[in-house]
């Protein structure tokens, strides 16, 4: 379980490098083109590797999940980042565990505990200390976009957990379906809003290759793989690792200073992530052990029944 959590955590850690790559290597003011290049090539690559197409209801399920996790999430996230000052978008996004806790209670039967809710609030507060600077009036559209992006990804996470995967289909194919569907949703919007693709130099090509392959194809495969094996609450508590990684990358690679308040926020947010994993893991274990074991008489009765059935079959 610990190895699975660590591998799943690599996804938000990778997403935390997106801001640095975008600002240092990519053309400015092309969020939709960047979202398209992240999603569609990665999705087509995974489809080619998996060589499995959706069947039956999974055509529309893949479209819904692709819209929630990719097609709507990417543009809304970029819109929020462009319209909100500093790290406000990251702060709004850090309330994702609260969204998931509510949705998981409705759709998955995972009842949130007081500990889970308090941990989510502490994590959001820690992230706010790391990324939030003094701000004036907030842009209403930016705040709505940030909330909508968080709600979109949270809903996609819970539905991915609820629907699971078709028999014989692995997380590679499921990830490819969603990335392709999301990319196809973004493509016409990118053309209508931003027009023709920009000219790309070598650093931009390298940046887009990194975003498409490591930051999207590999990271989302690890993410959806984790969703299939962990609880929805465990997965969403890994989300604060993204803004924390962005802060560390900014300090280590871009020369951005970290204040004592930011360091304290990092400790709080990381601590909330760890506590969230432990609490959610124990809750899942309690649900498993809560199943009433068979008594000795019931086991004997079941064994006798199986023996009779086996004899009948042999006859």
Tens digit of pLDDT for each residue in 127-183? 777 766 545 556 778 778 888 888 998 899 899 989 999 988 999 999 999 999 999
Q: Classify residue 16 by its DSSP letter.
A: T
State the pLDDT at residue 46: 96
Tell me if residue 112 falls in helix, strand or coil: coil
Q: Classify residue 53 by its DSSP letter.
A: -
Q: Are 190 and 36 in contact (CB under 8 A)?
A: yes
78 vs 4, more confident: 4
Q: Are 56 and 91 in contact (CB under 8 A)?
A: no
H-assigned helices in 17-72: 18-25, 31-50, 58-66
Give the separation between CA 91 and CA 87, rounded to whole angstroms.
Answer: 6
State the pLDDT at residue 90: 64
Tens digit of pLDDT for each residue in 188-199? 999 999 999 999
Q: Are 48 and 180 in contact (CB under 8 A)?
A: no
The residue among 248, 240, 250 whose CA lies nearest residue 90 is: 240
pTM, whole model, 2 decimals? 0.77
Give the separation between CA 230 and CA 129, rounded to whole angstroms.
Answer: 28
Q: Are 211 and 78 in contact (CB under 8 A)?
A: no
H-assigned helices in 108-259: 114-131, 140-163, 171-194, 202-212, 219-229, 232-236, 241-253
**Is the pLDDT reported for residue 118 higher than 70?**
yes
Q: Are 222 and 140 in contact (CB under 8 A)?
A: no
Q: Classify residue 197 by its DSSP letter.
A: P
127 vs 291, more confident: 127
Tens digit of pLDDT for each residue in 234-290? 887 787 788 778 778 877 877 767 778 878 877 877 787 777 777 655 555 454 444
Determine the average pLDDT of the residues in 8-24.
87
Tens digit of pLDDT for each residue in 57-76? 999 999 999 999 999 988 88
Tens digit of pLDDT for each residue in 84-99? 654 556 666 667 777 8
State the pLDDT at residue 87: 55
Positive/negative CA dihedral, 206, 249, 24, 243 = positive
Q: Classify residue 107 by its DSSP letter.
A: H
Tell me if residue 183 falls in helix, strand or coil: helix
State the pLDDT at residue 159: 94
Question: CA dist 188 to 40, 70, 73, 198, 294, Å?
Answer: 12, 14, 16, 16, 58
State the pLDDT at residue 308: 35
State the pLDDT at residue 223: 93
Tell me if residue 231 falls in helix, strand or coil: coil
């Amino acid at each position: 379980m610990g190895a699975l959590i660590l591998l799943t955590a690599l996804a938000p850690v990778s997403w935390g490098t997106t801001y640095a790559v975008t600002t240092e290597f990519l053309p400015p003011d092309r969020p939709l083109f960047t979202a398209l290049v992240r999603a569609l090539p990665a999705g087509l690559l995974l489809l080619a590797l998996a060589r499995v197409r959706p069947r039956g209801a999974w055509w529309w399920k893949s479209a819904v999940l692709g819209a929630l996790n990719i097609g709507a999430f990417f543009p809304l996230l970029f819109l929020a980042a462009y319209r909100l000052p500093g790290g406000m978008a990251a702060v709004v996004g850090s309330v994702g565990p609260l969204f998931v806790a509510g949705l998981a209670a409705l759709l998955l039967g995972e009842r949130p505990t007081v500990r889970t809710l308090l941990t989510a609030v502490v994590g959001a507060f820690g992230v706010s200390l790391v990324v939030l600077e003094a701000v004036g009036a907030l842009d209403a559209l930016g705040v709505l976009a940030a909330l909508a992006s968080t709600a979109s990804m949270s809903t996609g996470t819970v539905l991915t957990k609820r629907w699971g995967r078709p028999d014989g289909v692995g997380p590679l194919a499921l990830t490819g379906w969603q990335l392709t569907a999301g990319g196809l949703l973004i493509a016409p919007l990118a053309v209508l809003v931003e027009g023709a693709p920009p000219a790309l130099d070598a650093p931009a090509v390298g940046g887009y290759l990194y975003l498409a392959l490591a930051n999207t194809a590999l990271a989302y495969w690890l993410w959806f793989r984790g969703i299939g094996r962990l609880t929805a609450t465990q997965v969403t508590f890994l989300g604060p690792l993204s803004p924390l990684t962005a802060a560390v990358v900014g300090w280590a690679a871009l020369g951005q200073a970290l204040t004592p308040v930011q360091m304290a926020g990092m400790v709080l947010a990381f601590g909330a992530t760890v506590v969230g994993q432990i609490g959610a893991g124990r809750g899942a274990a309690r649900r498993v052990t809560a199943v009433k074991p068979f008594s000795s008489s019931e086991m004997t009765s079941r064994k006798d029944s199986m023996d009779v059935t086996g004899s009948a079959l042999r006859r």
